[in-house]
Amino acid sequence: MNSLILGSGFGLYGYLPAISVHSKFIYLNKKYKSKFLRRNELKKFYNKIKWFNNLSNIINDVDYIVIAIRPIDQFKIVKSLINKKKFKHLFLEKPISNNPKNSMRLIKYLEARKVNYSFGFLFEYLQWYKYLKKKLLKNNRFKIIWHIKINKKNKSWKYKTSQGGGILRYYGIHLIKLIYDLNLINIKSNLMNKNLWRSEFYDNKNNLLEIDLRMAIRDKFKLIYKNKILVNSKNPFQKIINQKKIDPRSFILTKYINQNLFKSPNKYNRNIKFIYFWDKIERNK
């Protein structure tokens, strides 16, 4: 099979190593070539790369597509692609689109055209998530502290809420998906601003999860259970991320891709309900 990756950031250093296992060739825009060559850890994949200038010239050779671009652009790109050809699977990045309303529109559009798709929510593949899920029996209390180092000089879309960035839509969306999947869908408290999201969620068994997500001067991630620190790391993936080695998230992406590549269970209703839940959190400030 052949894959196409759209996106010169996480598409390259995250998805490319993960999807290379299943790809005879990987199509990349020539505009990405300089970035690709600067990443030493990617050079071993060079022989699998086919560079293109015009997408229309290679689209018929593509089976699977990874789209890792700005959320605000994702809907437009998806529409243009699936009008050209029916692909075996679209791997789309969170937060789906730049806001709940447009995310709902995109999911309904994909479902109406019977497109196989999935979104890159990765926490469910992490060991601490599995432990948390196992311990949600009755009257248990957890806390997640996630501090993200802010770069005030960085003007990236990742800091702009209107484009699908910001503390909640870019970072917090991981936690919103986790909370929804664990059925902790009752909101006890909810406080958010540009640099902070603090909230508490509970289920019908009186399990409670407290969230403390904020921009800070250094990276930090902690999972606390009954006042005991279970995870103490710089990030939820518990790995150091640098440009000298394959991004550790690629190994998690490999699990995600393997799970979705050859079968795409119908998650339409759950996806729609998840978007409603996201919207509810944003409205319940």
> In 10 A of CB 25, how many CB atoms?
17
168 CB contacts (<8 Å, ≥6 apart)?
161, 176, 192, 197, 213, 281, 282
* pLDDT at 265 (0 to 100): 61
SS3 256: helix
pLDDT string in tens for the chain (285-residue length)? 999 999 999 999 999 999 999 999 999 999 999 999 999 999 999 999 999 999 999 999 999 999 999 999 999 999 999 988 999 999 999 999 999 999 999 999 999 999 999 999 999 999 999 999 999 999 999 999 999 998 877 778 998 999 999 999 999 999 999 999 999 999 999 999 999 999 999 999 999 999 999 999 999 999 999 889 999 999 999 765 555 678 889 999 999 999 988 766 668 889 999 999 999 999 986
* pLDDT at 230 (0 to 100): 93
Q: What are 109's two structure tokens?
A: 């559009």
Rounded CA gap, 187 and 281, in Å? Answer: 8
Rounded CA gap, 29 and 44, in Å? Answer: 18
* pLDDT at 240 (0 to 100): 58
Rounded CA gap, 78 and 68, in Å? Answer: 11
Beginning with the edge strand found earlier in the chain, give each strand of the sheet holding 49-52 in spatial order: 49-52, 25-29, 2-6, 64-67, 89-92, 117-119
pTM of the predicted protein model: 0.94
* pLDDT at 247 (0 to 100): 85
* pLDDT at 264 (0 to 100): 63
* pLDDT at 151 (0 to 100): 80
